[in-house]
Structures are given as structure tokens and as C-alpha cells.
Amino acid sequence: MQEPEIQGLSYNDVYLGMKERNVKGSTDQLAAAHVTIAGAGGLGSNIAIALTRIGVGHLTLIDFDTVELSNLNRQQFKLSQVDMPKVVALKQNLQEFNPFIEIKIHQVKVTHDNVKELFADADIITEAFDNPAAKAMLLDAASEFYPDKPIVMGTGMAGIHSSNTIVTKHPRENLYIAGDGESMGAEGLMAPRVMIAAGHEANMITRLILGDTEI
């Protein structure tokens, strides 16, 4: 998505900078992709930043919540953004990394009734909730409305357990789940393990965009 120069840099400048360090031959495919992320907290904000940095050209961010002080230990927001809608604050931050990608935001709660509309344009559906019931609802609805679209999810990243227990699994066609599958949020959530799980999700999304469907 080409735009006028920003701070003296053109789209082409930013594109060539990414192309220099991205995996060879990947940048055009990434620029054409559309990823929709449900949840803009610990998982979602880190996933969105990773995808923005490598030049995924179209992102849709969905979250109904606002930034709280308790979010700042793991979510990619600033103290100055407390009380802002998460999707607004996250878009603001992403545009500092790459102002040339398209970012759409929806400050709504995802329900079974709006999944069909919210994810219509997505090439890949990304789940980044912290509520198990919400995770299950999105999986059920996405499987119903968009069975051919890949869905990448996260579950189990709490506590201070070994980083090596966080893995990506492929339990069935078009479903990828990152995490340890066991640790619960009641243990406490902190940036290191949350970011590792988010990295797994972002890496799987990247591989899917580039045509690699295996783990």
C-alpha cells in the first residue's frame, strides 16, 4: 500500500529496507497478505508488532478493551496510553514501525454472531484472547463459517516455566496452537513467556503466508 513520504521516507525506502533483511523472496507475499487478530493484549500486541515489522501489508485488529496499568507488564503499550482503547493505541504504535501498511481496527467484542463479518477479509485468523471460553467460541465459529481459513491460536504461557515447553502443534487441518497447553493465567502472566508464545504464533502465520503449512 503506497503512500506519500513520511518523515522523508517513501514506501519504497521502507520496502527495500525490509527486503534486505527478510527471508529472500518473502516480502512481496507478506505485503499482499491480510491477517486478522482477535485480541490486542499480551499475545495480540506482540504478534501485531512482529507482523508489522516484516511488512505484512494488511492487518485487522479487534478488541473491545482499554489499556490498564496491569497490562503494561506484558502488553506492548505505553504509560501514556493508559485508558485508551487497545486497538487505537496499538495502531498508533504499529504506525511508528511501518506507516505504509493498512491497519483496520474494530473496538468490539467478538461473538459467534459477528465472526462471519469480522473475519471475512482475513487470509489467516489469529486468536489472541486470554479467556478460554472466548478461545473456544472463536474456534467453533471460525470452523463453522470459514473452515478453509487457517486459524492460529495460543494456549498456555503463564508462570515462569521453561521456555522450551512452549511449542506449536498442528492438531488438525487449518488449526495451529502455540503454547504449553497446560499453564493457567492464575499463575500470573509476564512478558517473557507471553512473548515466546506470541512469537510462535507470528512465526506460524508467517510460514502460512509463505505457503508452509507444516510445523
pTM to 2 decimal places? 0.95
CA distances from 50 to 43, 54, 76, 195, 196 (A): 11, 7, 11, 10, 12
Shortest CA distance to 155 belongs to which of 139, 173, 172?
A: 139
> What mean pLDDT do residues 53-67 have?
98
Q: What is the pLDDT of residue 2?
A: 45
Q: What is the pLDDT of residue 9?
A: 86
Q: What is the pLDDT of residue 3?
A: 52
Beta strands of the chain (E only): which ranges? 34-38, 58-62, 102-106, 124-127, 151-154, 167-172, 175-179
Find the Cα–Cα–Cα–Cα dihedral 90, 93, 96, 98, rounded to 10°.
-30
Find the Cα–Cα–Cα–Cα dihedral 127, 131, 133, 139, rounded to 10°.
10
| Cβ(117)–Cβ(62) below 8 Å | no
Q: What is the pLDDT of residue 4?
A: 62
Q: Residues 144-199: pLDDT tens digits?
A: 999 999 999 999 999 999 999 999 999 999 999 999 999 999 999 999 999 999 99
Number of C-beta neighbours around residue 12 at 10 A: 11
Report the alpha-carbon distance of residue 125 to residue 119 in Å, rounded.
7
Q: Residues 114-150: pLDDT tens digits?
A: 999 999 999 999 999 999 999 999 999 999 999 999 9
**Domain-wise residue ranges, the chain:** 26-210
Report the alpha-carbon distance of residue 87 to residue 78 in Å, rounded.
13
Q: Residues 62-90: pLDDT tens digits?
A: 999 999 999 999 999 999 999 999 999 99
> What mean pLDDT do residues 38-55 have?
98
Shortest CA distance to 105 belongs to which of 151, 149, 63?
A: 63
Sign of torsion over alpha carbons 59, 62, 66, 72? negative
Pick 26-210's CATH classification: 3.30.1330.60, 3.90.1480.20, 3.40.50.720, 3.40.50.1860: 3.40.50.720
The grid coordinates of residue 121 equal 477479509
